[in-house]
Amino acid sequence: MSSPKALDRTADRRRSTGELHQTLAPLLPGDDSVLLIPAARHEEQARLEAEVFLELRAVGGLSAHPLGIVRLRPEGDRLTIRVTDAPYVVMCWADQLLPRSTGEPSDNPRDLITGVPGLRYHRDRGGIHLHRPGMPARITLTGFPARWWDRITDRMHRDYDDRLLQPHPGWTPCERAAYDVDSGWPFPPGPVFSPLLRRIRATAGPGTVNSTDAWSSDGGYRMEATDGPPCPELIRLLGDGPTGAGWQVTHKRCTCRCDHEHDSCTVDFLDPATGIAVRYGNGRWGRTADKSYELRMAELNAKAFD
């Protein structure tokens, strides 16, 4: 049986990642300190995690788990993600992430590719492994039958013909050009959104629908949640808490204690390591009272394999 003190030492990490205390207890340091959340060891690992996060907007509003992530296991050289076992959510992951050519002419190389440039996958008994050729980065997806992924990607090959780039073992010229354009961003997402993805459960509230979304805006980023946690909890888990990402609060408008359904909260964060601002909004939409949610999800899941 775990002692209350040991449970306290893993509490913030469990809240941020969804991991179980039983799996974390062997990792506890011997000095009675809390168990930290490791950062991505390599720049390419952080960049891949950030790009995956930013591409997954379509998953919003489909699950009680932000981005459909039930739990994740952060390690220095990889990230293992347990995705909810809902066919429609798994379909969104594949459709939003796997790169394909748009088939449309453009002067901007990034407009020639949808999805994450260079992303490839292979599967084994350990799950679906996402990687980039020649890059020291990997994300492993678990939590759902691998045959779902096969059925979804087989249909994508039929729907997109030769535009789906998975069969190419290496980078295509268009993908490399898109990757190089993204490298020139004035505010690179890796240092900000890799730590956030590794703490994504921190953005979830108690309701049946939790959506977390982010995009570039005004020299920084915006992040929104539908029914996120109370602001003090979020600030601790992403900011100044012992397992936080070190984000600093520059301004906030908190209405967590207000009983009006549609009052929203805003928190302006600053990542001091990069100087990048993240403006967070919690819409408090009241989606947790949506009685049609289960019916809607049943219909979407039924269509996922049509």
Q: Which secondary structure element, helix H or strand E, spans residue 146, and what is its range?
A: helix 146-160
pLDDT at residue 288 in the model: 46
**Whole-number Cα distances in Å, 175 to 50, 119, 179:** 17, 9, 6
Tell me the whole-structure pTM to 2 decimals.
0.91
DSSP bridge pairs for 209: none
Sheet (strand 127-131) strand order: 69-75, 78-83, 138-142, 127-131, 120-124
> Token digits for 35?
């168990």
pLDDT in tens, the chain (306 residues): 467 699 999 999 999 999 999 999 999 999 989 999 999 999 999 999 999 999 997 687 778 899 999 999 999 999 999 999 999 999 999 999 999 999 888 899 999 999 999 999 999 999 999 999 999 999 999 999 999 999 999 999 999 988 999 999 999 999 999 999 988 777 889 999 999 999 999 999 887 888 899 988 877 899 999 888 999 999 999 998 999 999 999 999 988 776 555 578 999 999 999 999 999 999 776 544 455 555 565 666 666 666
**Whole-number Cα distances in Å, 73 to 142, 280, 281:** 11, 25, 26
pLDDT at residue 302 in the model: 65
pLDDT at residue 1 in the model: 47
CB atoms within 10 A of CB 22: 9
Cβ-contact 80, 73 below 8 angstroms: yes
pLDDT at residue 74 in the model: 98
pLDDT at residue 264 in the model: 84
pLDDT at residue 188 in the model: 87
CB atoms within 10 A of CB 201: 24
Whole-number Å distance between alpha carbons of 55 and 65: 16
pLDDT at residue 57 in the model: 79
DSSP string across 64-78: SSGGGEEEEEEETTE
What is the residue whose two structure tokens read 């009685």?
291
CB atoms within 10 A of CB 295: 10
Whole-number Å distance between alpha carbons of 132 and 299: 34
**Whole-number Cα distances in Å, 176 to 181, 186, 188:** 9, 19, 17
> Token digits for 301?
């899941």
pLDDT at residue 111 in the model: 93
- Of the candidates 191, 199, 220, the one whose C-alpha atom is nearest the C-alpha of residue 40 is 191
pLDDT at residue 141 in the model: 98
pLDDT at residue 296 in the model: 62
